[in-house]
Chains A and B, each alone.
Chain A
């Protein structure tokens, strides 16, 4: 992590710590939404940005997590924060089952299949599958989370909870980027054939990216359920998946700071322009088109290691210097 990036994170963290003293509860709520979307978009970024898999049904994993959290906390009276890991595991298992047969599909076919998966999940929730999801009305009366015996209900308390999760995720995913797993995913995105050729089991890594991304989305879903205390199938429509997809693409696919900026812009900006509520979606669509033509790598693109021609020359010079020694041997 570069010093510049570290300084950027420090500024954001300081601003967030100061926020409860500066903003009213409405804007704190907006910040909480930004945090939740950042968490979700970071989870999608593992799949879309790092592994390059077009997943436009991410809301399905989010929904599975949210409903898991809601069901165990309302029916089995398990505290919602205990439900968080459970939601992550459920979403991961769900992802492993549904992604396994389709993971080999070519980019835009995967896109269509994941859209289909998202819609099937939504229709299943509306139809009250297993008699647990409450149909079109959803589930209400989800208990507030309790942390160290303290009930979390005020927006500023949620701010610390949600952004605490975001901070931990950012730290963890930066580490992940540097790991063997993260590097394998990057090879996969840049050139699947070359990755396979250099010994990366592409099918396995694709599936792992899907499962990990889904687990994170499920976790975010259960936090969402705890914050809202009401969930319904409408919260997990195709539109949600599109918004997450856009956050990743507009912010900068594969770049963690880019995704955070994307979440702030896509979720936060429309709140500022609330007065133009009817026209803002129109502008949104237009921005997407213009953005792709003008700056398709996103606002804060991933910095990739690249060889410059001068590097190549230096390498050749070094080899030339070594060559006589090799001949002598």
Chain B
């Protein structure tokens, strides 16, 4: 039972990270009907930028751990968000009216470009975050020990998801995003600048993905230039699991996938851990292509 709860909390922490990345996929898909393959790589940039900013400005020494990490998060989110906007301008906007396949290939090209640029800058070795950044304490909860970092990751992801949800549901700009997701043409007729909405989506999605990269760096203590592919695919699975295009769906899907994976690794087989997400993905698309909270996606023909 103790192992079950340990794995459950671990799964929730990893799931929170998946959910943060999944939000970027789901928002872009909702508005543009495009799978942004480069999103996983923007996530990796978040992890690397966090490391660079942390070590070059010595944030944690200057202003204490928590304030340092807070400022770091804001900086990483801002930078990765801007990268997302630039990416959309360069690689996707010229293809807005083109066949679907062109945008998919362009997205793959962007992913290869971003990944290799990172490798050229930092080298092929993985990079490690400074040790002892966060206090190594654990919180005792009903007999089980939960490391502080795990709670921090879950809390941070929940706070960011809640903020995004409120933004999209309660603000005027959020309403514009939802309108563009339902029908771009109609939204344009209502006076919504769809290009601005798309830019906004490419600012917010990558910013959240970048913060997830930073959380991975803090959680595991290391980042790897190829990690965007695995996390990206799992986050995309999470987005489909919850129903793509649906923001609460991405949150639920991410948390659920993290838990499934952690429990599967513990009770079934650790060697097959990475295959679980793909099996789940295929099963959902066969059995319930709309996901848990989503709209219909399968074609009749």
Contacts and interface: CB of A to CB of B under 8 A. Distances in A.
Interface of A: 54, 101-102, 104-109, 111-113, 115-117, 119-120, 123-124, 126-127, 192-193, 196, 202, 238, 242, 245-246, 249, 253, 278-279, 281-282, 284-289, 291-293, 296
B285 A202 contact: no
Contact of A285 (B109, B285, B299): B109
24 contacts: A101-B286, A102-B282, A102-B285, A104-B298, A109-B298, A112-B281, A116-B282, A117-B278, A119-B275, A123-B275, A193-B301, A245-B108, A278-B119, A279-B116, A279-B120, A281-B112, A282-B117, A285-B111, A288-B109, A289-B106, A292-B95, A292-B98, A292-B105, A292-B106
Nearest to B113: A285
A282 B113 contact: yes
A211 B102 CA distance: 25
B161 to A, nearest CB: 23
A282 B105 contact: no
Given A105-B298, A282-B117, A120 B106 contact: no
A237 to B, nearest CB: 10
B108 A242 contact: yes
A105 B301 CA distance: 9
Contact of B95 (A116, A127, A293): A293
Contacts of A289: 90-91, 106, 109-110, 113
Contacts of B117: 282
Interface string B88-104: 00110011001111111
A193 B115 CA distance: 39
A123 B272 contact: yes
B289 interface: yes
B114 A285 contact: yes
A249 B105 contact: yes
Interface string B48-88: 00000000000000000000000000000000000000000
B297 interface: yes
A248 to B, nearest CB: 10
Contacts of B35: 108, 111-112
Nearest to A290: B109
A116 B98 CA distance: 26
B1 interface: no
B279 interface: yes
A-B pairs, 5 with minimum CB distance: A288-B109, A285-B113, A285-B112, A116-B278, A289-B109
Contacts of B113: 282, 284-286, 288-289
B278 A288 contact: no
A82 B272 CA distance: 33
A289 to B, nearest CB: 4
B282 A285 contact: no
B106 A115 contact: no
B116 A281 contact: yes
B271 A127 contact: yes
Given A281-B112, A289-B90, A289-B110, A123 B274 contact: yes
Interface string B283-301: 0011001000000011101
A104 B109 contact: no
Contact of B112 (A115, A117, A196, A288): A288
Contacts of B271: 123, 126-127
B102 A296 contact: yes
Contacts of B219: none
A281 B233 CA distance: 21
Nearest to A48: B101
B59 to A, nearest CB: 30
B215 interface: no
Contacts of B120: 278-279, 282
B18 interface: no
B240 interface: yes
Contacts of B275: 119-120, 123-124
Interface string B228-257: 010001001100100000000000000000
